Amino acid sequence: MTRGIPGQFRPLHRDSRAVSTALGYVLGLTISALLISVMLYGVGGFVEDQREQVVREELTVVGQQLASDLTATDRLARGSPDDTTAIRIESRLPAQIANTGYSIAIEDDPGSAYRLVLRTENPDVVVTVGFTAETVVDERTVSGGGLVIEYGTGATPTDLEVSNA
Amino acid sequence: MADVRGRMADARGRDRAQLFLVGALAVAVLFVSLALLLNTAIYTENLATRNTASDATHAHELRESTNASVAGVVGYANYRENESYDTLWTAVATGVRDVSDGAAVHGAVRGRPVEVSLDSVENGTRITHDVEGPFVDASATPRGSWTVVDGAAGSRDIRLDVSTTNLADGSGLTTVSDYRQSDLFHLDLAESSGSTYEVFVYGDGADTVSVRVIEDDGTPDFVGSTCSATAGADGHVLVSVSRASVDDTACPALSFAEGLGQHDVEMQNATVAGSTQIQGTYELFVDQDVTTVETTAGPYYDETATSQSPYATPAVYTADVALDYRTAALTYDTRVTVDPEAHPRRYGIGRQSWRLSLAGGGGGGGGGDGGGGGNAAPTGSVSISDVTDEGGNRYDIETSWSASDTDGSVASVEVILRDPDGGAVETKSPPLGSSPVTFQDVKITGKNAGAPWTVELVVYDDQGGSTTITHTEDLP
């Protein structure tokens, strides 16, 4: 029971009626925990998003590099109209992209168009790069890293063959 | 009651601060991993700027330059070392070795080994008519219609330098039968299994030479349209069947010559009933051994006879060279089949001389006279003072020369010996005042014997002017 002169107001901050210290404690903890976790979740999501974007960009760049090496080999093969031509180009691609491995699949499109499909598992990103080549390119899947493009040697000498170094 | 509010308030504050601390630490770790990701992004941008395809472009350029160099070697051998197929092979092999050494030095500067080696040589024949005259054969009673080559696997570089004098006129003709029933000269390329191509060359008004092609694959038809050119000051028009051009104009009708199968080459109506229908000079290369050409076609003058036309000499038809090129990322092994037709001609009929191409169509000699205004060009004189026979068709040619400049002094001179084709056999840069100059062991054989050789003196003065003086004489 508060003591005081009836009719006089008590300042609010000294009014401790209907306040339980345990409830206040829990409320404070909960609110700050919620705040922190939401912030963590937001930033974590942002970082994950950025990672996927970086992986996508780098896969595109790697795909374009490989495509340009393949078209350069194709041009050289076409400019050497002889059965005894042997060409070997090493394409030094990075072994990992943002700390994950990746795979490259070469697929045939109608006409002299081809597709390079680059995949990573985690995060799950798929990038397609198209290119054209008059020489036949063997369809196969290789893992990322140092690659070798060969023409005039191997199983089919008239085809461009891509393999891991 | 006991006062517990104060302590509880303190406890609440501390707990909240710890939570914030842990949360901030976690966010900081996330930001660090974000920074690492951005690092990867920067690396990707760097990766994107690398150009790995430049090695392949260099390989392509090297292939083309090797083709051009060896084509030059083959051209030189065909005109200078053509006594027999053995001397031709030796000359081409030596030349290719020099090309390889030169390319290796250039490649070594960039750390890229290059090697060129001669694989094989296709023996052929060069048929030349280089004395201005009607396109007849070399029999006792010359025939105007005769077989140039019988059953050649291929032919290249067919060039006719046609004179407007004595050229039969065919200006009024329109239909195929008009042409075929006329007396106009035509060069026939008759495929063994395929069509016969008749290239009609005739006059079309004053100083104009026209070319018309008829293809006969059962039914004769025109190929393309008429190509014409007006003769220049020398009164000649160069009809190049292999380069599909008449003087400097392209003539698509003549492009049939690419990709012909085995064929005969014949000349028809070079003379008709004793009157000349066409005259000038011509030259062609065929893919057939010279002994076969001389027995199944012609007849031709013996190559050792002095300056008679037409004659057949051994020649290299084409050559195969092996090219090896290595860089850090590229290995390139290929065989290049040299294509002399595709490169500038430096010898023989219709050649392009250095002076003409540099001066851009000016006079043939002296392109480069007198740099600035007000400088008098130097003067000089040159003549052949003595010719000594060293045996084996080799001669020492002694030339005496003198040079002077009216408004300055002579800086240097060059003495150039040219053979009847115009190609420079030897160039000497003697010190001033050291006349006479002797060209040792000059080989004069075959058609070059008794033909006009030229000695050229180029005098350079100290103000950038120059003069060329020539002296022509039949040797030996």
Which tens digits make up the pLDDT trace of B382-412? 888 888 888 778 888 888 888 887 777 787 8
**pLDDT over 80 (residue B437):** yes
Q: What is the pLDDT of residue A143?
A: 92
State which residue of chain B sits closest to A74, comparing Cα positions: B56
By mean pLDDT, which of B111-120, B369-378, B432-441 is the weakest? B369-378
Q: Cβ separation of A68 and B33 shorter than 8 Å? A: no
State which residue of chain A sits closest to B44, comparing Cα positions: A58
Residues of chain A with C-beta less than 8 angstroms from the C-beta of B331? 86-89
| Highest mean pLDDT, choosing among B111-115, B130-134, B347-351, B435-439 | B111-115
Banded pLDDT at B363 (limits 50, 70, 90): very low
Helix (H, G, I), strand (E, B) or coil at B357: helix
Judged by a CB distance cut-off of 8 A, whether residue A120 touches chain B is no
Q: Cβ contacts of residue B109 below 8 Å, gap of 6+? A: none
Chosen for mutation from A54, A100, A127 (greatest number of chain B CBs closer than 10 Å) is A54
Q: What is the pLDDT of residue B362?
A: 36
Q: What is the pLDDT of residue B417?
A: 86
Residues of chain B with C-beta less than 8 angstroms from the C-beta of A90? 328-330
Of the candidates B85, B92, B89, B161, the one whose C-alpha atom is nearest the C-alpha of residue B126 is: B85
| Residue in A39, A46, A80 nearest the CB of B63 | A80
B246 and B227 in contact (C-beta within 8 Å)? yes
| Alpha carbon separation from B263 to B286, B316, B377 (Å, rounded) | 10, 19, 55
Of the candidates B196, B195, B198, the one whose C-alpha atom is nearest the C-alpha of residue B180 is: B198
Task: List the Cα angle A124/A126/A128 in 5-degree steps.
Answer: 175
Say how far apart CA B25 and CA B15 lie, in whole Å. 16
Task: List the Cα angle A108/A110/A112 in 5-degree steps.
Answer: 75
> What pLDDT digit, counting tens, does each position of A67-109 carry?
999 999 998 888 887 778 899 998 888 888 878 899 999 999 8
| Alpha carbon separation from A104 to A16, A67, A86, A163 (Å, rounded) | 70, 11, 24, 11
Say how far apart CA B224 and CA B166 lie, in whole Å. 26
Phi and psi angles of residue B8, each rounded to the nearest 5 degrees, phi first = -65, -40
Judged by a CB distance cut-off of 8 A, whether residue A74 touches chain B is no
**pLDDT over 60 (residue B367):** no
Q: What is the pLDDT of residue B13?
A: 53
Burial of B476 (0-12, 13-18, 19+ CB in 10 A): middle
B window 23-42, beta carbon within 8 A of A? 23, 26-27, 30-31, 33-34, 37-38, 40-41
Query: In the predicted model, what is the mean pLDDT of residues B172-200?
Result: 89
Report CA dihedral (A130, A131, A134, A139) to the nearest 10 degrees. -50
Residues of chain B with C-beta less than 8 angstroms from the C-beta of A71? 53
Burial of B58 (0-12, 13-18, 19+ CB in 10 A): middle
Judged by a CB distance cut-off of 8 A, whether residue B117 touches chain A is no
* Cis before A81 (ω within 30): no
Looking at the complex, report in whole angstroms how far the Cα of residue A71 sits from the nearest Cα belonging to chain B: 9
Residues of chain B with C-beta less than 8 angstroms from the C-beta of A88? 330-332
Banded pLDDT at A5 (limits 50, 70, 90): low
State the DSSP code for B306.
Answer: S
Q: What is the sign, positive or negative, of the torsion defined by CA atoms of A55, A56, A61, A62?
A: positive
Q: What is the pLDDT of residue B122?
A: 92
Banded pLDDT at B165 (limits 50, 70, 90): confident
Q: Cβ separation of A54 and B44 shorter than 8 Å? A: yes
Say how far apart CA B339 and CA B157 lie, in whole Å. 10
| Residue in A32, A57, A91 nearest the CB of B20 | A32
Judged by a CB distance cut-off of 8 A, whether residue B334 touches chain A is yes
| Highest mean pLDDT, choosing among B270-284, B401-415, B451-465 | B270-284
Banded pLDDT at A15 (limits 50, 70, 90): low
**pLDDT over 70 (residue B281):** yes
Query: In the predicted model, what is the mean pLDDT of residues B43-58?
Result: 80
A window 28-47, beta carbon within 8 A of B? 28-29, 32-33, 35-37, 39-40, 43-44, 46-47
- Residues B193-205 as b or e (16 or more Cβ within 10 Å = b): eebbbbbbbbbbe
> What pLDDT digit, counting tens, does each position of B283-326 carry?
999 999 988 888 887 787 776 555 578 888 899 999 999 999 99
B242 and B341 in contact (C-beta within 8 Å)? yes
* Cis before B113 (ω within 30): no
Judged by a CB distance cut-off of 8 A, whether residue A111 touches chain B is no
Give helix A21-78 / helix B54-80 axis angle, nearest 10°: 10
**pLDDT over 80 (residue B7):** no
Q: What is the pLDDT of residue A16?
A: 66
